[in-house]
Amino acid sequence: MDRRRFFGTSAGLLATLESGSLLKAQNAANAVAGRPADTVARDEDFWFNVRHAFTVDRNMINLNNGGVSPAPKTVMDTEIRYLEIENMNPSYYMWNVLDPGVETVRRRLAQMFGVDTEEIAITRNASEANEIIQLGMKLNPGDEVITTNQDYPRMITTWQQRERRDGIVLKQLKWPVPPPSMAYLTKMFEDAITPKTKVIHICHITNRTGQIFPVKAISQMARAHGIEVIVDGAHAFAQFPFKQADLDCDYYGTSLHKWVLAPIGTGMLYVKKSKIEKIWPMYAAPPEMNANIRKFEEIGTHPASQRNAITEALDFHDSIGAERKAERFRYLRKRWSNRLRELPGVKILNSEDPEQSCAIGFISVDGFEAGKLQAYLWSKYRIWTVAIVTPGEYQGLRVTPNVYTTMEEIDTFANVMEKVIKNGSIPS
């Protein structure tokens, strides 16, 4: 076989293998077309096909997809193919062949978020996206930033650095979990505003108990006071459906390696077009790029293979359907939490209101140390969760399944937790 035929045959075989998992998901979606999303959430035949698009380790039960999620095989294969291409001659293929492909990624992300293509930057994660804004906006000594004590630690650390460096004032609000209402959260921020308040920084959905915030209400309230709103959407994007118009915020940063199921180390930043020019990029860009969203991507040599494979992840997301994903997540969360909530000492600290919660569940058990419970689940049953402790307020386990999670895995977690809770202590 000559080289041309060999590479042609190999490429065709690879394309066939890669398309298999996506085809299963698309065929499954076609089979349930027109059915309500909450009905499909309980259709195990549908989710059987989705599960088999992943090559995960089934000898462990991964209930920490909120940290970072495995990507479907079609996304991994695409990333590997791009990596092999750029490695043939990096200085040529990376800059001339692969890099232009990021414009398709930008267009697709903008389409999904419902914004102009020129308002989307590709980053490496939500932390980078948010820190670009946090460190790039002009704030003077004495200017106030309002956030909460339950926002992501790295974002709080960033504001604390600006306190030390620039003399700004960071105000961290406390709120009960779950909160009494969405209106309570909006009023909490409004009551904290002073004439010196310049920024409100909120999570779209918290990384702890999975509380969804009333972003649009807070954004519009803040705008009436002349205050800008930064939204940390690390856990929200593709977990449940929404567009920028549903939020009306000024800035939005998210990771794509969580619920979008894109390659690890990919993220997105939205900046309202009218505000791009006034934000300094984290890495220097020439002045002619002042109003160009791409100035936030000037990080030097970067992994084009990861960024280009984002499109494949978006195709996979679309093949399942955003509403179906969200309803499946709520169904899985309720399956384990409804079994455990009436047991002695159990507190389910995520809201049950579908407007305030989705995939992320949180369980606290009186008398049980979260870290020890997490370690026991892993060492005895290979159940992988994350222990979260908010000193002086609450502690417990955050539970985050994903679309590939099986009912058997959810039920195993519930069975083990039920046994431990009824026992009254963690077995030695």
pLDDT per position as a tens digit, 71-125: 999 999 999 999 999 999 999 999 999 999 999 999 999 999 999 999 999 999 9
15 band by pLDDT with thresholds 50, 70 and 90: very low
**Tokens found for residue 347:** 């507190």
Cα dihedral value 339, 345, 348, 353, nearest 10: 90
- Reported as a single tens digit per residue, the pLDDT across 334-388 is 999 999 999 999 999 999 999 999 999 999 999 999 999 999 999 999 999 999 9
Q: What is the pTM of this model?
A: 0.92
Distance CA 149, CA 151 (A): 6
Q: Is the pLDDT of residue 26 over 50?
A: yes
SS3 at position 106: helix
CB 208 within 8 A of CB 155: no
CB 85 within 8 A of CB 97: yes
CB 349 within 8 A of CB 394: yes
Distance CA 166, CA 280 (A): 15
CB 250 within 8 A of CB 219: yes
Measured in whole angstroms, how far is the alpha carbon of residue 344 from the centre of its chain? 32
**Tokens found for residue 357:** 């919660």
pLDDT at 19: 52
CB 108 within 8 A of CB 314: yes
All structural domains of the chain: 94-314 (3.40.640.10), 323-423 (3.90.1150.10)
Say what percent of the chain tops pLDDT 90: 91
Q: Taking Cα atoms as reference points, which of 187, 176, 143, 148 lies closest to residue 162?
A: 143
Question: Radius of gyration of the chain from Cα atoms?
Answer: 22
Residue 152: half-sphere exposure toward Cβ, Cα within 13 Å: 28
Measured in whole angstroms, how far is the alpha carbon of residue 284 from the centre of its chain? 27
197 exposed, middle or buried (CB, 10 Å; 0-12, 13-18, 19+)?
Answer: buried
**Tokens found for residue 107:** 């267009």
- Reported as a single tens digit per residue, the pLDDT across 266-295 is 999 999 999 999 999 999 999 999 999 999
Q: Is the pLDDT of residue 4 over 60?
A: no
Question: Does residue 178 have a cis peptide bond before it, meaning omega lies within 30 degrees of 0?
Answer: yes
Distance CA 265, CA 75 (A): 13
Measured in whole angstroms, how far is the alpha carbon of residue 255 from the centre of its chain? 5
Residues contacting residue 289 through CB under 8 Å, at least 6 positions apart = 295, 298
302 band by pLDDT with thresholds 50, 70 and 90: confident
